Chain A
Amino acid sequence: MFDRKSAIVGAMSPHGCNGADGHRRVRIGEAIGWDLVQIAAFAATSLELESTLRSIFRLDLPTNTGEVLNAGDLRLLKTGSEQYWIVIPDGDDLLRDLVVSVRPDVGAVTSLSHSRTRIVVEGSAARDLLAKGIALDLHTDVFVPGRFAQTGLHHTPVVIYRSGPSRYELFAMRTFALSVWEWLIDASLPFGYEIVAVGRDPLA
């Protein structure tokens, strides 16, 4: 197994900058220590895939795109009609179990761990910061905590998961992650920002 190397490691030195009011109202960090698995069925086999996944997780699956199932360390996102993302701690055996359980004629199991960078943004100005570049209504009544959306930021696709009222996780494409990171830092300047160290839960 190849070691994963952060796409934004060169920009991650902990530092910060005060905003116009002298405060630092956004904290930004990179989350590591996770794996990402995509499972996609064919249109004709979506029910069979759902049945297989239910037998593995023994839980009801999300029914609508944008909904998330949280179960312990596992997070399952419904990303399409017949498609799911699963975020798990790195080294988890789930990927191997899924490859065995999901027959190739039912669906495809693909590891996306190396293809995304997970950036965590938190703070009283996090929503205002992201609203500068994401064309979604981020009001808590509309984009409620616990939901996610596939959208765009700085001309690239991102998945944004709202893990709390003032906390967001961005899954940016690895090759654009530094570009997204630099956009976030630039857009944070008026609010003031603090870059925190890389970690499994960097803002904990």
Chain B
Amino acid sequence: MCPICGERDYTEFRYGGDATKPRPSRETADPKVWHDYVFLFDNPKGLHREYWQHVLGCRQWLVLERNTATNEPGESRLARMDVVTCEGEPK
């Protein structure tokens, strides 16, 4: 479900990553912090929040709640309303 376009086929969307991980602060120079942010992921079972882009539609970035065990989609919002910002920075 796209908040702009409504219900659409999954082929119009592309996955954009984990929406629950806070991005490290821009001042962070520690390579391990960036390594962990870029390469290490949890593999949660159940409800999860993910970035998706409606790439063949309105091209908006979304935050979608999806059950990783059943592939059942849940609520979606525009990512700009729900973005996880850098650590230590205001939304």
Contact = CB atoms under 8 A, between A and B. Distances in A.
Interface stretch (A15-23, A28-36, A148-156, A187-195): A148-156
Contacts, number: 38
Contacts of B9: 135-136
Nearest to A80: B58
A150 B11 contact: no
Contact of A152 (B4, B12, B78, B80): B12
B62 to A, nearest CB: 13
A99 interface: no
A166 interface: no
Contacts of B6: 66
Given A81-B4, A135-B9, A151 B57 contact: yes
A21 B8 CA distance: 33
What does DSSP make chain B's interface, helix, strand, loop or mixed?
Answer: loop
B86 interface: no
What does DSSP make chain A's interface, helix, strand, loop or mixed?
Answer: strand
Contacts of A149: 5, 57
B4 A157 contact: no
Given A80-B58, A80-B60, A65 B80 contact: no
A50 B11 CA distance: 32
Interface in B40-75: 55-60
Given A79-B58, A157-B56, A150 B80 contact: no
Interface residues of A, number: 14
Complex A-B, nearest 3 residue pairs according to Cβ-Cβ distance, in ascending order? A152-B56, A135-B9, A150-B57
Interface in B1-42: 4-6, 8-9, 11-12
A6 to B, nearest CB: 24
Query: How many interface residues does chain B have, given as a range?
Result: 10 to 19
Contacts of A136: 8-9
- Which of A66, A79, A150, A156 has most chain B Cβ within 10 Å? A150
A144 interface: no
18 contacts: A65-B5, A66-B6, A80-B4, A80-B58, A80-B60, A81-B78, A135-B8, A135-B9, A135-B12, A136-B8, A136-B9, A149-B57, A150-B57, A151-B8, A151-B56, A152-B11, A157-B57, A157-B59
Nearest to B80: A43
A151 B4 CA distance: 12
B5 A66 contact: yes
A158 B80 CA distance: 24
A81 B12 CA distance: 19
B13 to A, nearest CB: 10
A66 B11 CA distance: 19
A113 B69 CA distance: 45
